[in-house]
Amino acid sequence: MSVLRPATVLRVAALALLIAFLVTPQSFAPLFAPLTQYGAPPIYDQGNLLTLALAQLGTVCVAAAASTVVAVGLGVLVTRQRGAQFLPLSRTLVNIGQTFPPVAVLAVAVPLVGFGERPTLIALFAYGLLPIFENTLVGLRTCPPAVLEAASGMGLSARQRLFAVELPLAMPLILEGVRLSLVINVGTATIGSTVAAKGLGEVIIAGLLSSNTAFILQGGLLTGLMAILLYDALSALERRLLRTLTLD
């Protein structure tokens, strides 16, 4: 039996803690009781924590999926001969997406698409484009030229070359971009609760409004824990992929 590394132990413990708290929050009540005043409820009781956590995760994943499709698509487009003219503009646009504070995007999107999940999705989508786009560019551009030439020389059509050679080889970098984007957005998504999107931000804001530090901590720690575990899981996936593709 292999020796359990301390990192693995921590990982499993964190995951167990997260699941335990989401499934049976009340059992942690004694931990949070000292943080409340005047007999306020120590555990968030205006909604199911598990549902909220999943809702937040869901929003983040949908936004990440949209960002990935658009960013990778754009990255592929501008690395083709015919699309090269769009590269500077695409870069600028994606940069703008990240410079626009997500709160501002949220605020401006609300009158257009209403409250709830939709403005949050738009804000997260715009914010998450840059890491994926830049990484797609680097990944596609650093494909070893000999491999690309051999692929053409063997008779792969341009489309086959893209899907069988270029994208698989760029995958580790693209995945790293998606990971960065996802993890940042898990935290950013809490702001969506200011416009009534379902998520752990609700817990935090309830805490802010009623000065209940226990609520604030619950919301914050749960989000943080989710983000860390996601980061970790995707890192492991990336490492696996990189091992098969030692391009050095």
Nearer to another protein, 1 or 39 (CB): 39
Nearer to another protein, 28 or 100 (CB): 100
> Residues 171, 11: contact at Cβ < 8 Å?
no
41 in contact with another protein (CB under 8 A):
no
Shortest Cβ distance from residue 244 to another protein (Å)?
6
Interactions with another protein, residue window 149-168 (CB under 8 A): 149-158, 160, 165, 168
Interactions with another protein, residue window 97-126 (CB under 8 A): 98-104, 107-108, 110-111
Element (H, E) at 18: helix 6-23
What proportions of the chain, in percent to the nearest 5, are helix, strand and coil? 80, 0, 20
Interactions with another protein, residue window 204-233 (CB under 8 A): 204-205, 207-208, 211, 213, 216-217, 219-221, 223-224, 227-228, 231
Q: Is 3 helix (H, G, I), strand (E, B) or coil?
A: coil
Nearer to another protein, 66 or 220 (CB): 220
95 in contact with another protein (CB under 8 A):
yes
* Dihedral (CA of 183, 174, 123, 66) sign: negative
Of the candidates 138, 187, 234, 235, which one interacts with another protein according to CB under 8 A?
187
* Phi and psi based region of residue 37 (left: phi greater than 0; alpha: psi -120 to 50; beta: remaining): beta
Nearer to another protein, 175 or 186 (CB): 186
DSSP code per residue over 198-213: SSTHHHHHHHHHTT-H
User: For residue 100, which phi and psi values (nearest 5 degrees)?
Assistant: -60, 115
Interactions with another protein, residue window 55-84 (CB under 8 A): none
Q: How many CA atoms lie within 13 A of 185 on its CB side?
A: 32
Q: Is 114 helix (H, G, I), strand (E, B) or coil?
A: coil
Distance CA 19, CA 95 (A): 36
Nearer to another protein, 93 or 234 (CB): 93
Contact footprint for another protein (CB under 8 A): 35, 85-86, 88-89, 91-93, 95-96, 98-104, 107-108, 110-111, 144, 146-158, 160, 165, 168-169, 183, 186-191, 194-195, 200-201, 204-205, 207-208, 211, 213, 216-217, 219-221, 223-224, 227-228, 231, 244-247
